[in-house]
Structure 1
Amino acid sequence: MTPSSRPCASRPLPAGQPLAVVQAHEGELPAGAAEELAEARGRALVLGSGARDAAEALRGVAVRSWYAPTGGRAGPGAVLPGLVDALGEVPLVICPASPDGRDLAPRLAAACGRALLAGAIRVRLDDARGVVAAELERWEGRVIVDAEAPAPAVATLLPGARTVAPAPGGVGAGEPVPVALPVAPAHDARSLGVAAARPEARELGEAARVVGGGAGLVPRGTADSHARRTFDLLARVAARLDASAGATRVATDAGWIDPDRQIGITGAMIGPELYIAFGISGASQHTGGLGSPRHIISVNTDPSCPMTRRADLGLVTDARALLEALDRRLAEEAHAP
């Protein structure tokens, strides 16, 4: 289905190249911002409070970047008219699939009469054919849909979907460039602040640390109530490590932990700095969702299982016993004077 062709007015940003549009809060970028930038061929426009500092943080992977300090309380309705004007000749706008990005992207697509490709794990501009091609995640990752739309278009990119290479030469091409983006009065929701999520319940794709649990945490014949307590323990340890709690499909299918905690091809795609796998053998369905964690620690009684072979550190021991010992140690440290 082709949207009505209602071109946006053209202004300051260069034509002909994809552009990532990222909302910053107090200089902090949403998870996946570097991936979004890489998917946009290294070009980004950063909005919000602390926009310049956030744009500077992207210089290692940016080719060119711009920033518009629109303030922390300007909602999407307030910045939309200026964006419509500024992005007129940009053939592909990529927003992160963060709360801000999921709010802004459909408004921008509607205002410009563009197609919206939401929930992409890959998106690219085919210059020769004048179309945008994407792979879209549906049914909580259980289905991947190939889609195309005529350029110009808008897309949202899920975090953890791709790896990020440094910009040529290791740094971006010069200082981020300021853009005068007007903020118009608008009847819209206003952001009063951003509350941090509980670490263990943070979206898996956005977490820098993830603690995962598998069937190896639960001996055969264990009652479901006992198994659920084990995964409650996993979540508690994850919280004390400022990590998100995840699990294999075996654990979520058994009801030991919520389905949105599943990591893998049919679950969440992750790419954390640290992944600790308790009792996870490393089946391809699970490891297919790991991306490229910087460090992996495997806790398993099998020294030859795929997860331990892949790990930077393999601890060959009973996973549940080590989890309980770690919980006690972290509790002692939390209560130490």
Structure 2
Amino acid sequence: MNGTEPIAVLVVRDGVLPPGADETVAEAGGLALLAGDDTKAAAGLLTTATRVWTAETGTRPPGPLAAALAPLLTDRHLVLLPASPDGRDLAPRLAAALDRPLLAGALAVHRTGAELIDADGLTLVDATVSGPFVATLEPGLRGTLALPDAPEITELPPPNVPVRPDAEQSALLTAPPGQEQLDQAARIVAAGAGLGTGELTGPAAITLLETVGAALGAAVGATRVVTDAGWTGEERQIGTTGVVVAPELYLAFGISGAAQHVGGLGRPAHLVSVNTDPYCPMTALADLAVVADAPSVLAELARRLTPEAPRD
């Protein structure tokens, strides 16, 4: 797999691609190296790849895995990984094995560096490097265009994974639906300023939203207006200055769709907006737009999903 072009490195578990896989491969120009279990099956799931190399390494600690993959990547100017749990574990070790800098949490990459959000969470900075580097890419920030042809797949001989001290995985714990980290959630119900009207307001609206989220197997998110008001914690803030998400289903209650919020939303497969404003950006983006009072719709939805909930 000689070449100097950028390449994406994806850790595969039991044939399942990590979150952000297709975005990362697209950002790397369509080239990918897959390592893990059942990698050939996972390669067939990629929609943005033109050429894929697969290496059956099994489930290995990130340090030994980095040592095994580094010789395959020495000529690559840019090695790009998704900012998934495995990607975040492997990237710094891979950067150390390749003796090059790591640019973590990139919004976009280019030949001489990457665009990152500064530590203040508000400022976009262009981090530059003078040579080859490793980067992790935040998922959900860009759409992907599926290529019409399947990628060319090359199976590599299993690399020699050295035995060396490293963190040992005692168990892989999968969060129940709705309890994942926001950036890993397939379903999200989210609160905006529109839930601060009428009788159901503030923290009470968040509590009801949590009830609906539990019934739907969805995590709970919010806009910056909601977190700044103290209705819920900042860890639930979705947007370019909060958590970047890429859900399959997004239910927006009382969210107008400010650019800061939409910028961290990615491209949900299904977006439902509940808002009284038929012309707000979120309504325009929605697959299904419910033009109605968000607190009232939320209360009715909670009653229908949880029969034990009290009725008026």
- TM-score for the superposition, normalised by structure 2: 0.90
> In the alignment, which residue of structure 1 is the partner of 2:257?
282
- Give the deviation of 1:275 after TM superposition: 1.8
Residue 187 (structure 2) pairs with residue 209 (structure 1): yes
> Counterparts of 1:284 and 1:38 in 2: how far apart (Å)?
24
> In the alignment, which residue of structure 2 is the partner of 1:237?
212
For residues 289-321 of structure 1, give each alpha carbon's deviation from its aligned partner in whole angstroms, at most 9, with x where no partner exists.
333333321112222333223322211222122
Code of the residue aligned with 1:178 in structure 2: it is L
Q: Secondary structure at the match of 1:228?
A: helix
Would you say the 8 A contact 2:178–2:185 is kept in 1?
no
> In the alignment, which residue of structure 2 is the partner of 1:97?
83
> In the alignment, which residue of structure 2 is the partner of 1:63?
50
> In the alignment, which residue of structure 1 is the partner of 2:247?
272
Q: Secondary structure at the match of 1:57?
A: coil
> Counterparts of 1:87 and 1:25 in 2: how far apart (Å)?
21
Q: Secondary structure at the match of 2:68?
A: helix
Summarize the Cα distance change of 1:303–1:257 in structure 2 as closer, same or farther, 3 Å threshold: same
- Give the deviation of 1:232 after TM superposition: 2.3
Match of 1:84 among 54, 60, 70: 70
> Counterparts of 1:237 and 1:138 in 2: how far apart (Å)?
35
- Give the deviation of 1:122 after TM superposition: 0.4
- Give the deviation of 1:176 after TM superposition: 4.3
Match of 2:279 among 304, 323, 334: 304
> Counterparts of 1:220 and 1:326 in 2: how far apart (Å)?
16
Summarize the Cα distance change of 1:299–1:140 in structure 2 as closer, same or farther, 3 Å threshold: farther
- Give the deviation of 1:199 after TM superposition: 3.3
Matches within 5 A, 1:13-24: 13-24=1-12
Summarize the Cα distance change of 1:171–1:244 in structure 2 as closer, same or farther, 3 Å threshold: farther
- Give the deviation of 1:80 after TM superposition: 2.3
> Counterparts of 1:290 and 1:308 in 2: how far apart (Å)?
14
Matches within 5 A, 1:178-217: 178-217=156-195
> Counterparts of 2:108 and 2:146 in 1: how far apart (Å)?
18
Match of 1:26 among 5, 10, 14: 14
Would you say the 8 A contact 1:140–1:267 is kept in 2?
no
> Counterparts of 1:61 and 1:242 in 2: how far apart (Å)?
29
Would you say the 8 A contact 2:81–2:137 is kept in 1?
yes
- The runs of 5 or more residues in structure 1 that have no matched partner are 1-12, 126-131
> In the alignment, which residue of structure 2 is the partner of 1:41?
29
Match of 1:249 among 209, 224, 229: 224
- Give the deviation of 1:157 after TM superposition: 0.7
- The runs of 5 or more residues in structure 2 that have no matched partner are none
Residue 110 (structure 2) pairs with residue 135 (structure 1): no
Residue 128 (structure 2) pairs with residue 148 (structure 1): yes
- Give the deviation of 1:84 after TM superposition: 1.9
- Give the deviation of 1:140 after TM superposition: 7.0
Residue 299 (structure 2) pairs with residue 324 (structure 1): yes
- Give the deviation of 1:179 after TM superposition: 4.0
- Give the deviation of 1:16 after TM superposition: 1.1
- Give the deviation of 1:75 after TM superposition: 0.4
Q: Secondary structure at the match of 1:175?
A: strand
Aligned residues: 308
Summarize the Cα distance change of 1:324–1:310 in structure 2 as closer, same or farther, 3 Å threshold: same
> In the alignment, which residue of structure 2 is the partner of 1:128?
none
Code of the residue aligned with 2:87 in structure 1: it is G
Identity of aligned residues (%): 47
> Counterparts of 1:250 and 1:221 in 2: how far apart (Å)?
19
Would you say the 8 A contact 2:241–2:260 is kept in 1?
yes
- TM-score for the superposition, normalised by structure 1: 0.84
- Give the deviation of 1:205 after TM superposition: 3.0
For residues 232-281 of structure 1, give each alpha carbon's deviation from its aligned partner in whole angstroms, at most 9, with x where no partner exists.
22123223223222111110011111112112232223333322110112
> In the alignment, which residue of structure 2 is the partner of 1:161?
141
Alpha carbon RMSD of aligned pairs, Å? 2.2
Q: Secondary structure at the match of 2:238?
A: coil
Of residues 60-69 and 305-314 in structure 1, the stretch that sits farther from structure 2 once superposed is 305-314
> Counterparts of 2:109 and 2:290 in 1: how far apart (Å)?
39
